[in-house]
Amino acid sequence: MKTVSTAKSHGGTQGVYSHHSAACACEMTFAVFVPPRSGTKPLPVLWYLSGLTCTHQNVMDKGEYRRLASELGLIIVCPDTSPRGETVPDEQDNWQFGCGAGFYLDATQAPFDANYRMYTYLTEELPALIAAEFPADMKRQAVFGHSMGGHGALTLALKNADRFRSCSAFAPIVHPSTAHWSTDAFTKYLGHDQSSWRAYDAVSLIEDGKRFAEFLVDQGSADGFLDNGLQPWLLEKACKEAGIPLTLNMREGYDHSYYFISTFMDDHLRWHAQRLTV
């Protein structure tokens, strides 16, 4: 692991790091905020997954999480959204696919299957690195994210319910199998057989029997992607039928941006802290 940069913030350390990923077959960059602590007791870990076109940097610059994370004693891990580099296949004129749009899945279709293995990266490789290099209590993990990252958080939680104590999302893509901005990516990553898509689709996973303790979702009513891309009512219906508690907050007048995310970031941090510190 290489240290790209570190800075003191709210008594803790905001770091950016890189390493060669075996899962993604390229150099990967990620950010970790470690709050101040007394003694040697390890701290709970909250993973933040970013959305389409983003990197680890977006939430670092705009998410406004460090002050409260310091108060609550939470390590915040912010991975990148996809593999990157000259050898990684990409469609530079397509913001909904390729670099910046990994959708937190393991691709099965060439040429993308060699690098686009974000699910394995986030469930196996990066957690092992976090456990080895930071004062992290890996028995106390939670996950949240925005948009495509909200989709990733929901699917990771549903498929790893024994690992994550809590899961929340800002404006998640809840049913990417039917969303206008993800079906093309799913076809290229996973192939035309849509039955294989269900493993990376929160609504489908719930329909197929996956369960999680509860979810928290915040969604802006003025989000331009609400009707065709996000469709939180589909998650609401699936959770209701499955008996999964869901708190869905429709936030009047808010859009899809980090103005929205930063407004409700504290609510999500406190919600996770309550479940991580017991």
Report the alpha-carbon angle 243-252-263, nearest 5.
90
Q: Which residues pair with 48 in a beta bridge?
A: 144
Interatomic CA distance for residues 90 and 6, integer angstroms:
30
Catalytic residue among 90, 201, 218, 223: 223
Report the alpha-carbon angle 189-190-193, nearest 5.
145
Neighbours of 43 (CB within 10 A): 20
In 3D space, the residue among 245, 243, 216, 248 whose CA is nearest the CA of residue 232 turns out to be: 248
Interatomic CA distance for residues 147 and 95, integer angstroms:
14
Q: Which residues pair with 28 in a beta bridge?
A: 19
Active site residue 218: no
Edge-first strand order for the sheet with 246-251 is: 2-9, 12-21, 26-34, 75-79, 43-49, 136-146, 164-170, 215-220, 246-251
Catalytic residue among 50, 147, 182, 204: 147
Catalytic residue among 146, 151, 175, 256: 256
Q: Rounded to 10 degrees, what is the CA torsion of 200, 203, 209, 210?
A: 60
Active site residue 272: no
Q: Rounded to 10 degrees, what is the CA torsion of 127, 100, 213, 163?
A: -10
Active site residue 223: yes
**DSSP one-letter string for 43-64:** EEEEEEE--TT--HHHHHHHS-
Active site residues: 147, 223, 256
